[in-house]
Every structure is written in structure tokens, then in C-alpha cells.
Chains A and B, each alone.
Chain A
């Protein structure tokens, strides 16, 4: 089978697209519709927030009509207790055991709190959730999350919304090399090439929100990042050539004309 068609299993889902689309930051629901179509994603993330009668339930209807799977997150939670309750609300609202678990340490860098995250992962996994754990790029924590029952580990490339790309590529490689669950690069992607790099490092998928939703032309960027994700995946499977210190001619060195 061509590598690009290899489906990936994330939680209860089997997907052929390796781009998960975060809907946060989109200027309108119409744009969300356009970028879902342009990216050909099969999985989108959403947050849980208080019901506003005036806002109606249009995002839910739009996503259901687009026939994409919906992954609820626990964005904005700063402790295990709050995140666990939010995960349970997501399970009720969307009838899914899949949850993207975010437990943040503070609201400035939005970095995950590994201690609270591990506690919440363990509790939710025991409660039957398929935990997609959003974590830093520390290989030790990634491994601990797997032991705690995470079904997907999602290390960041850089803090949420920064678009700084993958700041510690070697750590991502180490996380991938020792993982026995899928690794999804989450946060930090700023442009298409970052997604390609994540996939070349061996990630199984990428999650992208701001780089698409806040792009000047979200629809075009959605397509670009989808192509880059697939290109990176194929590139990984195609097998890069070894890096060498000195040039190696690609044209034959024999059979040269004698012009002396």
C-alpha cells in the first residue's frame, strides 16, 4: 500500500488524513467550514464553553454536517480536577470517549503542567477515556504519559499560538523513537514546512490550529499544510539519504569527453 494511504488509529478513530485541525482562532464559522474542506481533515478539535443562547449551536451543526469526527479538548484548565470534569462534559456533549487533555501550568506560556497532566491522564484512562495528552517536548514525561494510559501523546513544537516551529527537533525524535503509541505534534506549527518537518521526524500526525485559522488566507494555508503533512509523511517513508560531509557527484564520473 502506498504509504500515504496507510490509515492511522488514534483513540477510537481510524483516519487516513494525518492533519488534525484545531478550530480555535477562526474568524467565523464559515471559515471553519472552508478550512475543513480545504484541508480534507477527518478530525477537528473543539473546546467546551458555557452555552450562549444567542450564539445558538451552529458550530456543532456545521461540524456534524461536514461529517468530521470531533475531538473535545480541556483547553483553559489549570488543574487535574477541572480538566477531568471538562473531559466528562465533552464526553456527554459529543458522545465520545476521546479527549484531548490539556492541563496548563499558567496563562502566560500556556505550557502543560506535567504533574497535573499525569494525574488527570491516569484518572481518565481508568474511567474509559481515550486520552490524547498534550505535553511538553520532554521524552521522559512523554513516556510516563504512555505508562499512565495515554493512547496518543501530543508533544508541542513550541508554545501554543507562537508559530515558532519545532524548537527541539531532537527531543521530538527521541519521543518518537521510544513511543509505542502514536505521537502527534501539537502546537507551535507556524507554516507548512513545520508540518513537513514534524512528519519527517517521525510524528504520526500533526495538530494545527492558529497557523491555519489566523493565516491571512486560511483556506490556502489549510491546503498548504495538508500537502506538507502528506509530503513529510511520504518523505519519512521514502527514506532520506544519509548526510555527508563532502560532495558526492550524482552524474557519472566516467565517460567524460577529453577537451584538452
Chain B
């Protein structure tokens, strides 16, 4: 297992986990979300290819109320 940071909190994932694998493990719908890895926005089309490394910072956002 390795530790990444998911939305600011330590989050363990198995070695060789892709972004897609992370989203799968969270069991969340794939519509209306966006993800950045170490401050780089990764489109969904690239989620299968990107492997997570120790201490990677993942920001997973969705829409919220806003003016």
C-alpha cells in the first residue's frame, strides 16, 4: 500500500493504483466531477493511464452552490 493525499487527507491505496482505480474504489458517480493530480487537471480520458505514486496530491472536485 502507498499513501496519497485525497482532498487534503492521507488516503491509502494499493500499489499500482490508477486514477481510474481510485475513483472505482470510492464508488462515486463519474458525472459532474473533476480531478487534479499535483495541480494538473487530468481529463477522464487519461484516468486509466495515470498511476498514483506515494504522496501524490489528488484534488477531487464536484459542483456546489455558488453565485
Residues of chain A having any CB pair with chain B under 8 Å? 22-26, 32, 45-51, 53, 57, 59-61, 63-64, 70, 72-73, 75, 85, 88-94, 160-161, 187, 207, 209-210, 213
Contact = CB atoms under 8 A, between A and B. Distances in A.
Main secondary structure of the interface of A (DSSP, over half): mixed
Given A48-B34, A85-B39, A93 B63 contact: yes
A47 B63 contact: yes
Contacts of A53: 26, 28
B66 A22 contact: yes
Contact of B31 (A47, A60, A73, A213): A60
By size class, the interface of chain B is 20 to 34
A161 B66 CA distance: 12
B16 interface: no
Contact of A59 (B26, B44, B65): B65
A154 to B, nearest CB: 11
Interface in B7-52: 7-8, 26, 28-29, 31-36, 39, 41, 43-44
A92 B62 contact: no
Nearest to B61: A48
A207 B34 contact: no
B64 A93 contact: no
A93 B66 contact: no
Contacts of A26: 65
B62 A23 contact: no
